[in-house]
Structure formats: structure tokens, C-alpha cells
Amino acid sequence: MFENIKGILEEYKKLWAYSYSEALMTWDTETYMPEADASVRGDVFAVFNELEKEVYMRLAGKLEGIEEEKLTDEERGVIRVLRRNIKYYTKIPIEIIKEFTKITNESVVVWRNAKSKSDFKMFSSYLEKIVNLSRQIADYLGYEKEPYDALLDLYEEGFNTADGDKVFERLLPELGDILKKVEEDGYFPKTHELESVPYEAERMKKVNEHVVKMLGMPTDKFRLDISAHPFTIRISGKDVRITTRYEGKDFKATMFSVIHESGHAMYELMVDERLEGTPIASGASTGIHESQSRFWENVIGRSREFVDLIYPTLKDNLPFLSKYDKDEVYRYFNTVKPSLIRVDADEVTYNFHIAVRYEIEKRLINERLKVDEVPSLWNELMSKYLGVTPKDDAEGVLQDIHWSQGSIGYFPTYTLGNIVAGMLYAKITDLYSLVSEAKFDKLRETLRELICKYGATYPPKVLLRRAFGTDYDPEGLIKYLRDKYLAKGKEYA
């Protein structure tokens, strides 16, 4: 394997080692690093950026004259991904990359403090710098129509504003109709008393440990920790880590964050091990990655069949559940209401939250919005889409870590993930039979064969066409939500 590009991959090994080290430092930054080291850590990352650019420059020369028609699919994937990365490092001046890296490492800590004090002004100057640098990056990368397209493409190769507008124009009216009918019906409650019942963190840790064991997470390649914002990081194909948080009430939040992040981890752990040490030994895109986490969290984790499986463990560890039967737990898992916090949003309303962020990012990068106008537009769009208005910045514009990390263009991939999860729902006809029998190994194998094993061999749209015969098609998601919330029987037999 890779016989035609051995020399290229030998040089790439240096980048692989840098990436391994950066991933480990990133995990540490979010979990155990003392805050005072944030600026130093930023300097370290900046040095890594310089070293990486040097390697990419050498690789650029090695790629000249490659005859792609003689390459395998995997080799073409390596060349494609390398060329995308080389484009980033050759078109963007190293001074911009270093400044962006340094400011975003500092910004994460500033955002964390601003959120704790619910004060957007503490963070706004950093966001201003990040937006300005992001515009410069978009200009250097180039685009056909709008600057935002260049940033979208960084996270979802081949995806642009026209695609995003098409997706949201199809999806939002359907979601609005489903939400209205769910509210009229009343079976799925807007709130549930279990949301306010306190739990002991140690007991929930036991539940979460059972969940990852039930899902089949390999103990020798995987670990679960705690952080302010749940995330997954791939150190290598044999070291994938996730985090959750324990807020002391509403136990489903931590459990579903574990299932969600386990979905991300499973993707990385199911990439063909032969790809390790190459540029394609990871997920195809952030949207495809999100499809795996949302599929496990929502389509599986919030199903009746999964409630049946997890209910005994929940009762054993959470004594207060003795008053609630499986139907009540199912309804608690599937409350539907317009709410303020994205990570706590239900399946029906979640994509409205993404639409808010998509619209703000689009206007910011295309210079139709100033940073100091972001909080007011945020509140305006929340009111328009969901009929709710944040009372402060912490539950509004400061709730997400992404902009402090410089991840502008990332948010739309959450909706793309939901869409692909819906496509999986439509394709796997025996899905809930497998869940009811806890045959998660068979589900993992199905996902491995459809999507995971290829890593980044194919660009996302090509991968989806190979698996489904089409690319981002919202119809599966719409069908899933209508089947679950409107069409199917709502009570346990």
C-alpha cells in the first residue's frame, strides 16, 4: 500500500509527529493546564506552525509531476489532502498563521472568564481580532463568490454558502411545522421535572462508564475525562479521548454528551489502521464527523429501544428514578421546547441554533456586521427562530467556545451532521431491531463499511454519493423527525 508515494509519506511522518504532540497539548489545555500557561502554550503552538510550514514547503516540491492516474484511491486521497494543507500554508503568510494561533490560544481563556462574568465586552476585542484575521485568511485562500465560502471549505471540503442557504431554506420551514405540531399535541413535554432533580456526580460517572462499555469503547485505546466543554480528540488511531461535564442536575445532559463524543471517538477508532501515519487517517470532514456523534446520540440514544436498555442501570444508580417508568424517562429524554442553550437543545429545535450562528458568521466575514452588533443580532435571530431571548451574554452570545478557538465556518457542520445522521436512519432498515438487541457491534460494522474505514480518502460529497447515492439531503432528517415526533405511536405497549 502507498508504494507509489513512499517518499512523500516518509517526509509526512514529521507532520504526523507534530500533529500527535499538538493533539496531546490541546487535550491538556482543555483539561489540566494551569491558566497562567495559556500564552506560553500559544507560543509553543506558533513554533510548531513554523516547523510544519517548512515540511509542507518540502512536500510541495515532491508533489510536482505526480501522475495521479497511476495512483490508488488512497494515494490520490493523500495527495488531495496534502495539497489542501499546502495551499493553507503557502497562500497564508506565516506571520498571519502564527498570530492567529497565538491569539486563539489566549482567547480561549479570555472567553472562559467572560462567560463566567456574562460580559461580552471582555471578549469582544479578541473576537474582533479573530474575525479580522479570518477575513484575511479567506482572502489569501481565495473564493469564487463570498469570503465565508473559503472558511466553510476549511471544515467541509467543497461546501459553500450556496449549499448552506439551500440546506437551511429546505430545513427550517419543515422544522417550524414539526415544532408547531409537537407543541399542539403535548405528548413530548416542553419541560420535565427530572431536569431540575439533582444527582451525585459519582453516581453519574458510573452510568457513563456503563454507557461507554455498552457501546463497545475499547478500554486500551480510549479514555473519558472532564472539561468545561465536552469534546473529542484523536491523538492517534490507538489513543482517542473524550470529555464530559457534570453540572449536578438534568442527568441526561452528561449522559448524552458521553454518547455524542463516543460517536466521534468511534469514527476515529474505525478508520482503517493501514492509513495511520498518513494525512487521510482521520475523519473526512467535520460534518461527516458530526453525523456519527449525532446518529449515536439522537437516533440511537434517544430511542425507546435505548431507553429499554439503559433504564435498569439508571434506576440502580439514580434512586430518584424509582418514581418514573420507562415512558417518563423516554419523554424526559425527548422534551421539545424552544430554548436558549445549543448544547442542551432538542432534536426538533437544534438546527435553529445553528441557523443563528450561520447567519451571524456569514454577515461578519462578508463585512455586513460589526462585532459589537453581534449580541443584538444574536438576540434578534433567537427571537425570530425560537421565540426566546437571552437574559444575559452567558446564555446568549458567549455560550459556545468555538469563536474563541477561531473556528468560524464550523457551526454549519453540526446541521450537516444531523442531515447525514438522518440519511443513515433512512438507509439502515433494521436499525431499531439491532438497538433493542444491543447489537452495537453490528451497527458499528455498518458505519465502518459505509463511512468510517475510508478516513479522508474521499472528499465528503464523494463519500456520501458512494454511500447513499446523493450528498447532503435533508429529506432523511425530516422523515426521521416526522416519524418519531408526529407519526409513530407514542406510548409503550
Residues identified as active-site: 261
The strands making up 239-244's β-sheet, listed across from edge to edge, are 222-226, 239-244, 232-236
The answer to whether the annotation marks 290 as part of a ligand binding site is: yes
In the Cβ-directed half-sphere of 471, how many Cα atoms lie within 13 Å? Answer: 16
C-alpha span between 105 and 355 (Å, rounded): 26
C-alpha span between 352 and 415 (Å, rounded): 9
Q: Which helix (H) or strand (E) holds 181?
A: helix 161-185
C-alpha span between 329 and 322 (Å, rounded): 11
453: burial class by Cβ within 10 Å (0-12, 13-18, 19+)? middle
Q: Is the dihedral of CA 285, 287, 288, 293 positive or negative?
A: positive
Coil, helix or strand at residue 462: helix
The answer to whether the annotation marks 402 as part of a ligand binding site is: no
Cell 492509513 -> residue:
275
Helical axes 412-427 vs 286-294, angle rounded to 10°:
60
Cell 479514555 -> residue:
223
The answer to whether the annotation marks 260 as part of a ligand binding site is: yes
Number of neighbouring beta carbons within 10 Å of residue 400: 19
Q: Is the dihedral of CA 212, 216, 222, 228 positive or negative?
A: negative
Number of neighbouring beta carbons within 10 Å of residue 128: 14
In the Cβ-directed half-sphere of 278, how many Cα atoms lie within 13 Å? Answer: 28
Number of neighbouring beta carbons within 10 Å of residue 12: 24
Helical axes 94-117 vs 38-63, angle rounded to 10°:
150
Q: Is the dihedral of CA 35, 36, 39, 41 positive or negative?
A: negative
Q: Could you tell me which residues are annotated as the binding site for Zn(2+)?
A: 260, 264, 290
Name the binding residues. Answer: 260, 264, 290
